[in-house]
Amino acid sequence: MTDIAHSILAINPNAKFTVFAEDASNVKWHDNTTPISEADILAKQVELQADYEAKEYQRKRASEYPSIGEQLDLIYHAGQGGDAFQAAIQAIKDKYPKG
């Protein structure tokens, strides 16, 4: 779950605040930061969480892609960077479709 602080900073990157007990209704605002309503914070939290969940395929792909060095080596050994490189990347894309 996305935490309250990240949600606040997504709304106002310059906000100065303290969150108590990870509770959107228990935020102390500092340095004349305009308070953000609890409803707005919680709505942003839901939005950020949905975005995170929608990008699960990206995290899974990234962990299985060959390293940049390996990718470049595949391109090099394939001659003009074609078939072996494309097949390695496509296999991971097929395994984790955007869905």
Q: Verify that 48 and 70 share a domain, yes or no.
A: no
Total domains, the chain: 2
Q: Verify that 81 and 67 share a domain, yes or no.
A: yes
pLDDT, tens only, 11-24: 999 999 999 999 99
pLDDT, tens only, 89-98: 888 889 999 8
User: Which DSSP string do the residues of 64-99 spell out, in sequence order?
Assistant: HSPPHHHHHHHHHHTSSS-HHHHHHHHHHHHHS---
* Owning domain of residue 21: 4-54
Among left, alpha and beta (phi > 0; psi -120 to 50; other), residue 61 is: alpha
Q: Note the pTM of the prediction, 2 decimals.
A: 0.72
Q: Verify that 28 and 8 share a domain, yes or no.
A: yes
Q: Verify that 43 and 66 share a domain, yes or no.
A: no
pLDDT, tens only, 65-88: 999 988 877 776 676 667 777 788
Q: Alpha-carbon distance 96 to 72, whole Å?
A: 22
Q: Verify that 46 and 64 share a domain, yes or no.
A: no
pLDDT of residue 35: 97
pLDDT of residue 75: 77
The answer to whether the beta carbons of residues 85 and 71 sit under 8 Å apart is yes
pLDDT, tens only, 33-74: 999 999 999 999 999 999 999 999 999 999 999 999 888 777
Q: Verify that 49 and 11 share a domain, yes or no.
A: yes
Q: Verify that 22 and 32 share a domain, yes or no.
A: yes
Q: Verify that 13 and 44 share a domain, yes or no.
A: yes
